[in-house]
């Protein structure tokens, strides 16, 4: 059993030579020197894009917050309008100090909404637009063309080009 067999040949030196040649090939195909200036410019551009996107996201979130708060405040503003209409319907209350106080609060609230870009939309006399108006009724009107707003039940409000609340209107038939 200790005798070597002649039919088995050991080819270890060949395998070692192949492995050594492979290592030399890896060394020869080294990576080129990195261009640090290009990497810096790309990183600076990425940072600038992140800043711009953050500003856009903050502005959009602020706009959504303003719109949400305005939608919550609009019913209170409507109630102030109703209170003034009821008070002014009686002649003895038209110049009362409470009526003046209600009018002052209403004007302050409208002014605050306008400062953030929210404006009332009262489309009386305009053509009916289903994207910004809500028709609650149709009525015949000899003075107005068909499809024209002849009465506004509830004012609408806009924030820029966006409709916060559609105006509730009566349209001429």
**Sign of the torsion angle spanned by Cα atoms 7, 10, 11, 13:** negative
What pLDDT is stored for residue 88 in this prediction?
82
CATH assignment of 118-173?
2.30.22.10
Q: What is the pTM of this model?
A: 0.65
Can you state the angle between helices 97-115 and 36-89, rounded to 10 degrees?
A: 160
Mean pLDDT by 10 residues, the chain (173 residues): 55 51 53 78 94 95 91 92 86 79 92 92 90 92 88 91 92 90
What pLDDT is stored for residue 28 in this prediction?
55
Which sequence spans correspond to the domains of the chain? 37-116, 118-173
What pLDDT is stored for residue 168 in this prediction?
93
Provide φ and ψ at 123, rounded to 5°.
-85, 30
- 161 backbone φψ class: left, alpha, beta (φ>0; ψ -120 to 50): alpha
What pLDDT is stored for residue 3 in this prediction?
59
């Amino acid at each position: 059993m200790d005798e070597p067999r002649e039919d088995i040949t050991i080819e270890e030196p060949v395998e070692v030579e192949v492995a050594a040649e492979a290592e030399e090939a890896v060394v020869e195909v080294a990576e080129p020197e990195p261009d640090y200036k290009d990497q810096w410019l790309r990183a600076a551009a990425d940072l600038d894009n992140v800043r711009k996107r953050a500003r856009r996201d903050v502005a959009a979130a602020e706009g959504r917050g303003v719109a949400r708060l305005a939608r919550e405040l609009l019913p209170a503003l409507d109630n102030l309008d109703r209170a003034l209409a009821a008070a002014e319907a009686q002649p003895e209350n038209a110049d009362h100090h409470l009526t003046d106080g209600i009018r002052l609060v209403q004007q302050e609230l409208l002014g605050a909404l306008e400062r953030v870009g929210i404006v009332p939309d009262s489309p009386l006399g305009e053509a009916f637009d289903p994207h910004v108006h809500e028709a609650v009724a149709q009525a015949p009107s000899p003075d107005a063309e068909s499809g024209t707003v002849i009465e506004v039940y509830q004012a609408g409000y806009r924030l820029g080009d966006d409709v916060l609340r559609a105006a509730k209107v009566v349209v001429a038939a």
